[in-house]
Amino acid sequence: APWEKQVRHSSTPRRPNGFSVLVTGAAGFIGSHCCLALKKRGDGVLGLDNFNDYYDPTLKRARQNLLTKHQIFIVEGDLNDAPLLTKLFDVVPFTHILHLAAQAGVRYAMQNPQSYVSSNIAGFVNLLEVAKTANPQPSVVWASSSSVYGLNTENPFSERDRTDQPASLYAATKKAGEEIAHTYNHIYGLALTGLRFFTVYGPWGRPDMAYFFFTKDILQGKPIDIYQTQDQKEVARDFTYIDDVVKGCLGALDTAEKSTGSGGKKKGPAQLRVYNLGNTSPVPVGRLVSILEGLLNTKAKKHVITMPRNGDVPFTHANVTLAYKDFGYKPTTDLATGLRKFVKWYVSYFGIQPRVKKETQNTKESG
Which of ligand NAD, ligand UGA, none interacts with 159 (beta carbon under 5 to 8 A by kind)? none
Interacting span for ligand NAD (CB under 6 A) from 82-90, 95-103, 148-156, 343-351: 95-103
Interacting span for ligand UGA (CB under 6 A) from 1-9, 49-57, 104-112, 247-255: 104-112
Give least dist CB 187 to ligand NAD, A. 23
Interface of this chain with ligand UGA, residues 285 to 344, rule: CB under 6 A: 285, 309, 312
Burial 338-367, CB ≥16 within 10 A → b, else e? bbbbbbeebbeeeeeeeebeeeeeeeeeee
Which of ligand UGA, ligand NAD, none interacts with 50 (beta carbon under 5 to 8 A by kind)? ligand NAD
Edge-to-edge strand list for the sheet holding 73-76: 73-76, 44-49, 20-24, 96-99, 139-145, 192-197, 272-277
Give least dist CB 163 to ligand UGA, A. 12
Is-contact 329 251, C-beta < 8 A? yes
Q: Does 216 bind ligand UGA (CB under 6 A)?
A: no
Calpha distance 160→89 (Å, rounded): 34
Catalytic residue among 55, 108, 116, 170: 170
Task: Work out which of 50, 163, 193, 228 binds ligand NAD, going by CB under 6 A.
Answer: 50
Which residue's CB is nearer to ligand UGA, number 227 or number 345? 227
Q: Does 147 bind ligand UGA (CB under 6 A)?
A: yes
Phi, psi torsion values for 192, nearest 5 degrees: -135, 140
Residue of this chain nearest to ligand NAD (CB atom): 28
Is-contact 367 332, C-beta < 8 A? yes
Q: Does 146 bind ligand UGA (CB under 6 A)?
A: yes
Q: Does 163 bind ligand UGA (CB under 6 A)?
A: no
Q: Does 247 bind ligand NAD (CB under 6 A)?
A: no
Q: How far is CA 267 from CA 182, 190, 264, in A?
A: 18, 12, 6
Is 188 among the residues known to form the active site? no
Q: Which residues are bridge partners to 21 per DSSP?
A: 45, 96
Calpha distance 92→7 (Å, rounded): 8
Q: Does 121 bind ligand NAD (CB under 6 A)?
A: no
How many Cα neighbours within 13 Å face the side chain of 122?
11
Calpha distance 74→7 (Å, rounded): 8
Query: Which DSSP state fits 270?
Result: P
User: 167: closest CA among 122, 107, 237, 112?
Assistant: 107
Which of ligand NAD, ligand UGA, none interacts with 210 (beta carbon under 5 to 8 A by kind)? ligand UGA
Q: Does 199 bind ligand UGA (CB under 6 A)?
A: yes
Is-contact 52 128, C-beta < 8 A? no
Is-contact 47 26, C-beta < 8 A? yes
Give least dist CB 123 to ligand NAD, A. 4
Which amino acids are annotated catalytic?
A: 170
- Where does this chain bind ligand NAD (CB under 6 A)? 25, 27-31, 48-52, 60, 78-79, 100-104, 119, 123, 143, 145-146, 197, 199-200, 206
- Where does this chain bind ligand UGA (CB under 6 A)? 104-106, 145-147, 197-199, 209-210, 225-227, 235, 237, 285, 309, 312
